[in-house]
Amino acid sequence: MTVRDIFDAMSYGPSPESPAEALAWIERHSAVFGPWIDGAFAKPGQTFATENPATGTLLARVTQGTEADVDAAVRSASRAQAGWARRSGHERARVLYALARLVQKHARLLAVLETLDNGKPIRESSDVDVPLVARHFYYHAGLAQILEAENPGMEPVGVGAAVIPWNFPLLMLAWKVAPALAAGCAVVLKPAEQTPLTALLFAELSREAGLPPGVLNVVTGDGATGAALAAHPGVAKVAFTGSTEVGRRIRETTAGSGKGLTLELGGKSPFLVFDDADLDSAVEGLVDGIFFNQGQVCCAGSRLLVQESIADRFHDRLRRRMERLRVGDPMDKCTDVGAIVDRIQLERIRGLVASAEGETFVAGAAPEGCFCAPTLITGLSASSPLMHEEIFGPVLVSTTFRTPAEAVEIANNSRYGLAATLWTENVNLALGIAPKLKAGVVWVNATNLFDAAAGFGGLRESGFGREGGREGFAEWLKPAAKPLKLRTVAAMAEPKRPGIEGIDRTAKLFIGGKQQRPDGGGSRAVWSSRGRLLGHAPQGNRKDIRNAVEAARAAKGWAATSAHNRAQVLYYIAENLSARAAELAGRLRDLTGEAGEAEVEAAIRRLFDCAARADKIEGRVKPVPLEGLVVALNEPVGTIGILCPDEAPLLGFVSLVGSAIAMGNTVVALPSEPFPLAATDFAQVLETSDLPAGVVNIVTGSHAELAAPLAGHMDLDAVWCFSGGAGRLAEVERGSAANLKRVWSGRGLTESWAAADTRAFLTAAVEVKTVWLPAGE
């Protein structure tokens, strides 16, 4: 071929990267690896093969971790934990800085080994993954340095278990290990069985950074190894990235254990293209959004929603661009789409494509082996199965919309909520649509942008918790002060000689802004400490929970109400409570046998504090290396089910409900079981305080009977559990696994209900959404 031919064809010649250095490292270990425990490789046990997915050749054999291996690793981490936590932030920062420098010094080795083990193009490993790994360790070195100054009164949570997937083996390691080490935690890491090698190399390099033995341990193996690690009683926190189904099992396994849990799970992220978008730029963004890493990305823009008026033009441009993508040898710097991680995943992708409705376009033929050609499926309806099923490959599905409102509706019609992308030249439209998308991350006129300073994580069945940024760092810290202690309190027993006075008083449920009788028609007598009948409390059932959730969901306009207006309502509630202070204090005295004046006054102060802070729980502009803005927005969680504490029947109820509605959430509350009349009286205050119907709903009754239907309700976004001890919490956390709703049980609260910091309640009442807004031409 002549030079003229090359210029005419504009074809790429091969530009292969040599694997020699990586293969030599493997050979130095005789291509057999044991787990990394206590700062050294342990003797290999039973092994399995890890192969190069592009060629099928054997790379090495690694140990199938047993429960004994997991136990040894956790014990090693536990021994190292105290000493690592006692080091100053500056001392830990120096080690993290050294780890970042080592990643840079060995960048080529790490990138090549990642591509050999995973199959992703070397260009992505070297230009995206490894630089981001170094960035995470640099960023968290800084957070370690300033920890004492900016996080006073906080300490590390303890030993962390990090279980990571095969799509970004080294980057996911950094996402979990860097903040854990910065906070003072020791870590046991379980890499994916398909891609363990860069984790083992990183562990070996960590010695050169001065990381003490035991602070980082790596146990290889399959899902059984990860399950044993997550269930180990010596683990204080589990950080998992992987499939939704495995995340659901981890939620069930850890239920009631008190372990912290961060889940970053699957996704079916929408990619919205409006009719005023720069179509060529949108096509390039879409190529990056779905064909990057062979589409094996949890936040891949795999669901294309394009405005109907430009759909044909956009699809034509996209098909032409797909035809120019180069599928092949991942070690070639000119390759765009590398190998699928293994044959099992490839067959799954092919099976899903074969089941597709609509019109399927395949961009050329893939090479022999574990490769999949870029694929576009158009003409689907919003309800088509492939618009909802995560394919996890280089396959894009597409439908159309007519109006922005319809685009939002289709985009949010998913059980996932990890990320979303929108393309438009109209800044007003962009800023109007972004907050409405149910996603933890939104990219505007860009996609797949990541940085250590910007939190990442999802909603719904995409998981909960954040990784990266200050919000991700906070997941590895806890208050050093003693946590809030909950007491179980019994209701006053029926006396042998009851005192009956006055006209019968029967409380009702409070649902949709109205007092309603319970569905089951039952009630129980509530007695005073002196044996006087105070009235009857309704006994709610599963249908009452359903009605209350429906009413709360119908009050969705509350989230759109400005923080200022929400604050005014809270002030008004406090004012009306103050007007009835003597009555409520008397009620508390009758219910509990203790003076109620202090509790009523504390409830009024708590409402004032919630109102005062409603417009002061602010977001952040993230300092990322990007021209433009990256904004972390605090948004309401949604609809929250609250099991209120037995004790402090008014203050506990007001603290939880008041903070939730202050941040724009709607609530279904189960008030104190032994003393429910404090809440039903408070409902009368709510009726006169301009609170929209359905924002607060109150269902009294047995927490033991109502906890399960509340926790399992698919239209709830979170449950706060302050009732019934560890057994009740375990039941709630297991029930929450159905749709992976968030569960909060007071983590971050200290001292008494009266002394607790309102900010802890308000922080639990928001989700962080990261919105990327690039600027420039």
Q: What value does the mean pLDDT of the chain take?
A: 93
| CB within 8 Å of 777: residues ≥ 6 apart | none
Q: Can 298 be counted among the known catalytic residues?
A: yes
User: At 317, is the secondary structure helix, strand, or coil?
Assistant: helix
Residue 500: predicted pLDDT: 65
Residue in 734, 728, 674 with CA at minimum distance from that of residue 701: 674
Residue 748: predicted pLDDT: 76
Find the catalytic residue in 17, 264, 390, 467: 264
| CB within 8 Å of 98: residues ≥ 6 apart | 208, 209, 210
Average pLDDT value for residue range 718-739:
92
Point out the least confidently predicted range of 9-13, 233-237, 274-278. Answer: 9-13
According to the per-residue pLDDT averaged within each range, which of 15-19, 100-104, 380-384 is highest?
Answer: 100-104
| CB within 8 Å of 390: residues ≥ 6 apart | 244, 266, 267, 268, 302, 416
Average pLDDT value for residue range 354-360:
89
Torsion, CA 122, CA 125, CA 127, CA 131, rounded to 10: -150
For 247-280, the pLDDT digits (tens) are: 999 999 999 999 999 999 999 999 999 999 999 9
Q: Rounded distance, CA 247 to CA 230, Å?
A: 11
DSSP secondary structure, 196-212, as one string: -HHHHHHHHHHGGGTPP
Owner of token pair 């009754």: 701
Tally of residues, the chain: 777
Q: Rounded distance, CA 540 to CA 671, Å?
A: 11
Beta strand 718-721 with 696-698 is unpaired
Contact 518, 701 (CB under 8 A): yes
Nearest-5° Cα angle at 119, 116 to 124: 95
Burial of 460-489, coded b for 16+ CB within 10 Å and e otherwise, reads bbbbbbbbbbbbbbbbbbbbeeeebebeeb
Query: Partners of 516 in the beta sheet?
Result: 509
Structure confidence at residue 242 as a pLDDT band (50, 70, 90):
very high
| CB within 8 Å of 30: residues ≥ 6 apart | none
Find the catalytic residue in 114, 185, 193, 298: 298
Residue 770, CA atoms < 13 Å, CB-side half-sphere: 29
Torsion, CA 439, CA 440, CA 444, CA 450, rounded to 10: -140
Structure confidence at residue 499 as a pLDDT band (50, 70, 90):
low
Q: Can 370 be counted among the known catalytic residues?
A: no
What's the token pair of residue 127? 């230009």
Per cent of the chain over pLDDT 90 is: 86
Q: Rounded distance, CA 646 to CA 649, Å?
A: 6
Average pLDDT value for residue range 380-390:
91
For 413-425, the pLDDT digits (tens) are: 999 999 999 999 9
Average pLDDT value for residue range 76-93:
96
Point out the least confidently predicted range of 279-283, 453-457, 612-616, 751-755. Answer: 751-755
Owner of token pair 């780890």: 99
Element (H, E) at 601: helix 597-613
